[in-house]
Amino acid sequence: MATPRVLILRAPGTNCDQETAFAFQRSGAEAEILHVNRLLEAPRRLGDFQIVCVPGGFSYGDDLAAGRILASHIRRKLADELREFKAAGKLILGICNGFQVLIKSGVLLADDAQGMPATLTMNESGKYEDRWVNLIADGSKCVFLEGISALTLPLAHAEGKFVARSDAILQSLDAAGQLVLRYTRSDGQPGNDVPYPQNPNGSQANVAGICDPSGRVFGLMPHPERYMDRTQHPRWTRGEGHDPGDGLRIFENAVRYLR
C-alpha cells in the first residue's frame, strides 16, 4: 500500500484534528477530517480507510464526562463497522480525548459481564494538568511504538487518571503487555511510585497509554501531534529537544506498518 488513508474523526469541541491530520500527512499518509455526523450517515465509509484516529480536544464539550457522548455514538451506531475494521488488520489511534472515547466505547478494551474493565477519570490533583512529561515505552506489542523506548511529550487534560476495575484486571493487562506507555521520573527512570507531577494524574501503574491484545488499537493521554519539530520543545533554545520531535515517530510507525 503506497499511501495509507487516515480518517480523522472529529465532533463538536474537537480541537486537535488539523494538527493530527498534518502529523499523518507528514508521515506519508493521506488524511481526511470527517465530522462524526457525516460518518453516522454513511458508516460503510470506514471501509475506504486503513487508519481511524480520534484526536484530542473536548468532544461535545465533555459535558457529561470526557469522551462519553462520542463514545456513546460509537457504541450505538458504529460498533459493528469498527469491529470489521479491526478484524481486517487495520489501525485505530486515540489521543487524549480520543483515548477516553476508545476506552468508554469498548473499542480499546472489550466489556465483560460487569462492564468496562478500566476507565479514565479525574486527575488525582483535582485540576486540569498542562505540562510536558517523560515516558517509557514498550513497543514489542504495540504497532505505534515499535522501536521506541522513551518519549518526551506534552499533555493537557483533566480526566487522564487510568483506573482498572480491579487489581486482577490491572495485573492481567500488565501480564499481556498492554500497558505499553508509562510516566517516568524527571530523570527518565521508571518506578512503581512515580510521584506527582511526573505522573500528572495519579494513574495506576503510571499508565499513560495502552493497546488492545492485537497491538493495533492504541490510546494515549499525551499529545504526539504537538511535538513534530525541535522548536516545539519548551527548552529548544537551550539545546534540548529532538529534530524531528518525538511525537512524529508514532505516526511514522503506523504508516510504515501499513506499507
Measured CA to CA in angstroms, residue 73 lies from 59, 88, 99 at distances of 12, 22, 15
CA 5 to chain centre: 18
Given 19, 73, 159, 223, the catalytic residue = 223
Known catalytic residue at 223: yes
Q: How far is CA 162 from the centre of its chain?
A: 12
157 is known as an active-site residue: no
Which of 16, 53, 73, 96 does the annotation list as catalytic? 96
Quote the crossing angle between the two packed helices 248-258 and 17-26, to the nearest 10°: 60
Catalytic residue among 19, 146, 159, 225: 225
Q: Answer yes or no: 225 catalytic.
A: yes
Place of cell 515517530: 249
CA angle 172, 91, 166 (to 5 degrees): 20
Which residues lie closer than 8 Å to 237 by C-beta, 6 or more apart?
A: none
* Number of Cβ atoms within 10 Å of the Cβ of 10: 26
Enumerate the active-site residues: 96, 223, 225
